[in-house]
Amino acid sequence: MFVTITHEPIDTSGLVRRVRSDADGAVILFTGVVRNHHDGRQVVALRYEAYEAMASDKLRAICASVAGAYEVTDLAVAHRIGELTIGDVSVAIAVSAPHRDAAYKASREVIERLKREVPIWKLERYADGEEAWVKGCIPEPG
Amino acid sequence: MAAGEAPGTGMRVKSLFFAIYRDILGRDELEIELPEGSNVGALIEAVRAHGAADKLPGHVVVAVNQDYASLETVLVDGDEVAFIPPIAGG
């Protein structure tokens, strides 16, 4: 299992290499990517911020929980923080499993729980020069 | 309690503020002294007395030493209490 909160661009193929083994018939790579619009406004850039120590702990706990719930071989998750521009990968989740069904389900559960539990925030910068913290969701203890 | 400290003295708790809460307060941390045995709810009320902190929402989520905690959670000297605005990772 591998979890990182990083200021550096995410090496997605490195994540895939970390999780794949010869016993795996499926590797799912999910990437969350910075898009150029939100709620009808044109977004030009984002800044992500994390409570880094807690975010890492929470992500590790989520991965351990998901690994226990599905027939997966390994998981690797990276979340980028700092300044990102359109098209940058903000989060990547790699899951390996003998069979695809478990890999898909585990990947989906990690991203959904990340969004509900992990203390990370997003400041959007708009084309008109304004900026605002994205209205997030009230965190749910995992 | 450290040796030599009188019983019944206060305790110091560090609060951390992130994202929009940091913007509201204009600072990213605050050390507050509280009576021993105080809980999270008491800390939040003490924080609200500082500067613009009265503009924090009525309900705030906190984590004590990096775990989500309730208003009833009792604090001890040296605890780190993070005020967690609604999250938006991913």
State pLDDT tens for residues B22-68. 999 999 999 999 999 999 999 999 999 988 888 999 999 999 999 99
Give CA–CA dist A37/A25, Å, rounded: 36
Beta partners for A78?
A: A4, A92
Give CA–CA dist A79/A6, Å, rounded: 6
CATH number of the domain where residue B51 is located: 3.10.20.30
- Record: contact B87-A120, CB cut-off 8 A: yes
As for how many domains chain B has, the answer is 1
pLDDT score recorded for residue A14: 98
Distance between A17 CA and the closest CA of chain B, angstroms: 22
pTM for the whole thing?
A: 0.93
Q: Which residues of chain B does A48 touch, with a Cβ-Cβ cutoff of 8 Å? A: 89
Closest CA to A142 of A71, A81, A68, A75: A68
Q: CA dihedral defined by A112, A81, A61, B12, rounded to 10 degrees?
A: -120
Q: Both tokens of residue B81?
A: 């209490």
Phi, psi angle pair for B62, to nearest 5°: -130, 160
When mean pLDDT is compared across A9-23, A61-75, A121-135, B51-65, the lowest value belongs to B51-65
Question: Does residue B4 fall inside a structural domain?
Answer: no
User: Looking at residues A19-39, what average pLDDT do you find?
Assistant: 97
pLDDT score recorded for residue A50: 98
**Chain B residue whose CA is closest to A30:** B90
User: Other CB atoms closer than 10 Å to residue A121's CB: what's the count?
Assistant: 24
Q: Does B75 touch chain A (CB under 8 A)?
A: no
Q: Which residues of chain A does B63 touch, with a Cβ-Cβ cutoff of 8 Å? A: 51, 54, 119
Domain of residue B28, residue span: 10-84
Closest CA to B28 of B41, B14, B11: B14
Q: Which residues of chain B does A136 touch, with a Cβ-Cβ cutoff of 8 Å? A: 85-88
Report the topology of domain A2-126. Answer: Aldehyde Oxidoreductase; domain 3 (3.90.1170)
User: Looking at residues A55-71, what average pLDDT do you find?
Assistant: 98
**Chain B residue whose CA is closest to A110:** B90
Count chain A–chain B contacts defined by CB atoms under 8 A. Answer: 78
What percentage of chain A reaches a pLDDT higher than 90? Answer: 98
Q: Both tokens of residue A104?
A: 């898909």
